[in-house]
Amino acid sequence: MIPKSFTAATSEAGVAEIRRMIARHKTWDWLFGLLGTLALLFATLVFAALFGQMLINGVPHLSWEFFTSFPSRRAASAGILSAWVGTVLVMLVTAIVAVPLGIGAGIYLEEYARKNLLTDIIEINVTNLAGVPSIIYGLLALGLFVYQFGLGQSIAAAGLTLALLILPVVIVATREAIRAIPQNVREGAYACGASKWQVVSHHIIPYSLPGIMTGVIIGLARAIGETAPIITIGALTFIAFLPPSPFSSPDHLLSFEWLLAPFTVMPIQMFNWLSRPEEAFQANAAAAGLVLVVMTLSMNAIAIWIRYHFRKKIKW
């Protein structure tokens, strides 16, 4: 028979060992939390320093003339009119092409496609394409859109190029958002007699829309700052005219001549100014950077509003 004193000592030793183990784990948790906090502070300080410097250099150059003037060889009279108009038009084409195709492909792969070898190959390739360098998309677009389809160095070619670039990001984000929907939502809808399309359109898409919009925001934010694929397909670094207006058709219909017009975008204009030795051009580049940040934040705000608008209609 085991003495009670031995049992008590063993129990106390076990409790002490458990306490020491918990203390070690708490120490590692504290160290990891401290390391994460320091990393966050470092990243925040670097971003604040860079953004603050851009504010100091760029804000004095923001004026109405800066937005309504074309680029010039004189820094004092140079503006970003052609650059921001080109950026808006290119991003419009990119969004119109990439968002419906990406969301539709994600819904099909997650809800309709059968799980077989072909589907697995498609999924692997879509995931891998999300990490392909952007210059590869530029080379592909140069041979496909510019030469094969005859679009030339146009807004349409640039928009399609950036659409290919962000398409895998939108597809992956859409699939992840759909996977986060509980299975009992689908089962409950089927139990009420809903069809496959009714389940997808009335339940899956509205519930997963916040995650889908997050993927769209990430993709468009990446596209608006890309330079390599745009330069590859032949975007101009100096342009002193605007594309034709979509409303310039004599029969009062929409005109699509602007799709085939030459263009430039904000990142290329900034690169052009930064390559010049004059300090005034550096300040112009900082001001253009602020405008680009505001354009990105505006896209994010629109996506957040859409997400909030649809979220109010959701009833779990």
pLDDT, tens digit, 9 for 90 and up, residues 241-253: 788 777 766 665 6
Strands (E), the chain: none
Tell me, yes or no, whether 154 and 42 share the same domain. no
Average pLDDT over residues 153-161: 88
For residues 166 and 226, membership in a common domain is answered with yes
Q: Summarize the confidence of residues 127-133 as an average pLDDT.
A: 82
**Residue 272 pLDDT level (bands cut at 50, 70, 90):** confident
Number of domains in the chain: 2
What is the domain extent for residue 242? 62-311
| Residue 232 confidence (pLDDT) above 80 | yes
% of the chain with per-residue pLDDT over 90: 6
Task: Say yes or no: 177 and 74 in one domain.
Answer: yes
Looking at residue 65, what is its pLDDT? 85
Residue 110 has pLDDT above 50, yes or no: yes
With cut-offs at 50, 70 and 90, classify the pLDDT of residue 34.
Answer: confident
Domain boundary among 59, 89, 104: 59
- Based on the fold, state whether residues 54 and 68 are members of the same structural domain: no
Of 256, 70, 245, 255, which is closest to residue 156 (Cα–Cα)?
Answer: 256
Model pLDDT for residues 160-210, shown as the tens digit of each residue:
999 999 999 899 889 888 888 888 888 888 888 888 888 888 888 888 888
Say how many residues make up the chain: 316
Q: Are residues 42 and 174 in the same domain?
A: no
pTM over 0.95: no
List the one residue out of 310, 97, 131, 316 whose CA is nearest residue 212: 310
d(CA 260, CA 264): 13
| pLDDT interval class at 288 (50, 70, 90) | confident
Residue 42 has pLDDT above 90, yes or no: yes
pLDDT exceeds cutoff 80 at 121: yes
> 190: closest CA among 175, 180, 174, 202?
202
φ/ψ of residue 17, rounded to 5: -65, -40
